[in-house]
Amino acid sequence: MKESMKDSKMKNLKDVYFKLKTAPTKKLRKVKLNLFKTSWKEKTEPVWNFICPTCKAQRMIIGGPRPKQKHYVQVGLTSAVFTLLTWPVFSWKGLVSFIPFWMVFEIFYRIKIRALVGCPHCGFDPYLFLSHEEKAKQQMKDHLEKKYEKILAKKPEPPATS
Ligand SMILES: [Zn+2]
């Protein structure tokens, strides 16, 4: 009894799917498309788009050069929790902890962005270029030499012509 119920249900589903697959109207086709869409909201992070100034490669970094409002809220909440936890010791003066928390956060944020901003294609590091131009040029040269050495090593030797 149960089996046949299941069977008829499956048949029904197959019918529905077939109808949708061969749906003649736009409305039904839309329903079909919606069946395969996830109901999860996709996370949309702001993306920092720019072009590498030396090799013109399209670069994309999640986040941005400067901390966002979201980060102020996060650090603010951290210092609020810290204030509550240390209330018997510092009372409301614990809120001053926002400053050291922010300093630590910004150090890590800058290190992260600095590491990401260097171009993986040509080895150009804008931060280094601003402070030590010659060093940045040397670094780029080393990067490109290594890159082409690898490419040349992979290439089979051309047959000797005699
Ligand atoms: Zn580049």
26-50 pLDDT, tens digit per residue, is 555 555 555 566 666 666 677 888 8
Between 86 and 23, the higher pLDDT residue: 86
Q: Is residue 36 part of a domain?
A: no
| 85 alpha carbon – ligand 1 mean position (Å) | 47
| 51 alpha carbon – ligand 1 mean position (Å) | 8
What pLDDT shows up at residue 119?
92
Q: What is the pTM of this model?
A: 0.58
Could you tell me if 69 and 103 lie in one domain? Answer: yes
Structural domains in the chain (count): 2
Q: Is residue 134 part of a domain?
A: yes
Phi-psi label, residue 45: left if phi above 0, alpha if psi -120 to 50, beta otherwise: beta
Summarize the confidence of residues 121-145 as an average pLDDT. Answer: 93
| 58 alpha carbon – ligand 1 mean position (Å) | 8
| 151 alpha carbon – ligand 1 mean position (Å) | 17
What pLDDT shows up at residue 66?
87
| 59 alpha carbon – ligand 1 mean position (Å) | 8
**Residue 153 in this model has a pLDDT that exceeds 90:** no
What pLDDT shows up at residue 106?
95
Could you tell me if 99 and 122 lie in one domain? Answer: no
Q: Is residue 142 part of a domain?
A: yes
CA 101 – CA 87 distance, rounded (Å): 17
Check: CB of residue 50 under 8 Å from CB of residue 65: no
What does the pLDDT look like over 70-115, one tens digit per residue? 999 999 999 999 999 999 988 889 999 999 999 999 999 999 998 8
Contacts of 79 (CB under 8 A, 6+ apart): 94, 95, 97, 98, 101
| 113 alpha carbon – ligand 1 mean position (Å) | 16
Summarize the confidence of residues 135-154 as an average pLDDT. Answer: 91
Binned at pLDDT 50, 70 and 90, residue 128 comes out as very high
Question: Helix-strand-coil percent breakdown of the chain, rounded to 5?
Answer: 65, 5, 30
| 130 alpha carbon – ligand 1 mean position (Å) | 16
If you average pLDDT over every residue of the chain, what do you get?
82
| 140 alpha carbon – ligand 1 mean position (Å) | 9
Could you tell me if 107 and 55 lie in one domain? Answer: yes
What pLDDT shows up at residue 37?
63
Give the residue numbers spanning the domain of 89: 45-116
Could you tell me if 110 and 139 lie in one domain? Answer: no
What pLDDT shows up at residue 41?
65
Q: Is residue 15 part of a domain?
A: no
| 142 alpha carbon – ligand 1 mean position (Å) | 14
CA 38 – CA 32 distance, rounded (Å): 13
Check: CB of residue 144 under 8 Å from CB of residue 124: no
Q: Is residue 108 part of a domain?
A: yes
| 13 alpha carbon – ligand 1 mean position (Å) | 53
Q: Is residue 144 part of a domain?
A: yes
Could you tell me if 102 and 128 lie in one domain? Answer: no
Could you tell me if 52 and 98 lie in one domain? Answer: yes
Could you tell me if 122 and 109 lie in one domain? Answer: no
Q: Is residue 72 part of a domain?
A: yes
Could you tell me if 50 and 111 lie in one domain? Answer: yes
